[in-house]
């Protein structure tokens, strides 16, 4: 194993051979402008992971992260209890409004809007579609991020 200190992160082929015995190198993928194109997010609940205060705190941070991300466009799909994020009485309503400012479009399923009696603001970025229409979209979307 090569024990000589390195002053740079120059890992060219000869240098890599020195580490081939048992050293693990972890390299993060470099962000490129291609990574910033369009992102699609499906949110299924108005909490993350479990229906608790902690789950809502986690979703709050996630929504903030999305609204501050460097993506060119974000399209958000809200289904089932995820549509509750559009309700003015929801504790995460303000965070959803931040994301609404960043998103190109938020698509919510009509059946859940009706079922939960959601009182949503009228906003041209919020589009209401049938669950069938959303399902057809999701089938063809590349690399959708699903928040469970």
How confident is the chain (148 residues) per 10-residue block, as mean pLDDT? 50 52 49 64 86 87 90 90 93 92 93 92 90 93 83
pLDDT score of 12: 52
Class (C level, CATH) for 37-147: alpha beta
pLDDT score of 38: 80
Instruction: For helices 93-102 and 53-68, give the axis angle rounded to 10 degrees.
Output: 20
Strand ordering across the sheet containing 145-147:
126-129, 105-109, 73-78, 38-43, 145-147
pLDDT score of 73: 85
pLDDT score of 70: 82
pLDDT score of 52: 80
Terminal-residue alpha carbon distance, the chain:
44
Q: Compute the distance between CA of residue 116 and CA of residue 119 in angstroms, rounded to an integer.
A: 9
pLDDT score of 11: 47
How far, rounded to the nearest angstrom, does the alpha carbon of residue 53 sit from its chain's CA centroid? 20
Size of the chain in residues: 148
Widest CA span in the chain: 67
Domain boundaries, the chain: 37-147
Token pair 């608790």: residue? 52
């Amino acid at each position: 194993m090569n024990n000589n200190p390195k002053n740079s992160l120059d890992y060219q082929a000869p240098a890599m051979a020195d580490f081939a015995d048992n050293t693990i190198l972890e390299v993060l993928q470099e962000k490129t402008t291609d990574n910033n194109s369009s992102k699609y997010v499906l949110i299924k609940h108005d909490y993350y992971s479990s229906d608790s205060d902690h789950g809502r705190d986690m979703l709050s941070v996630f929504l903030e992260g999305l609204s501050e991300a460097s993506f060119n466009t974000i399209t958000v799909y809200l289904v089932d209890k995820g549509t509750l994020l559009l309700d003015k009485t929801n504790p995460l309503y303000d965070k959803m409004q931040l994301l609404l400012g960043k998103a190109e479009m938020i698509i919510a399923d009509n059946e859940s809007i009706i079922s939960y009696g959601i009182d949503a603001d009228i906003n041209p970025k919020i589009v209401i579609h049938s669950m069938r229409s959303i399902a057809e979209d999701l089938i063809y979307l590349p690399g959708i991020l699903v928040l469970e």
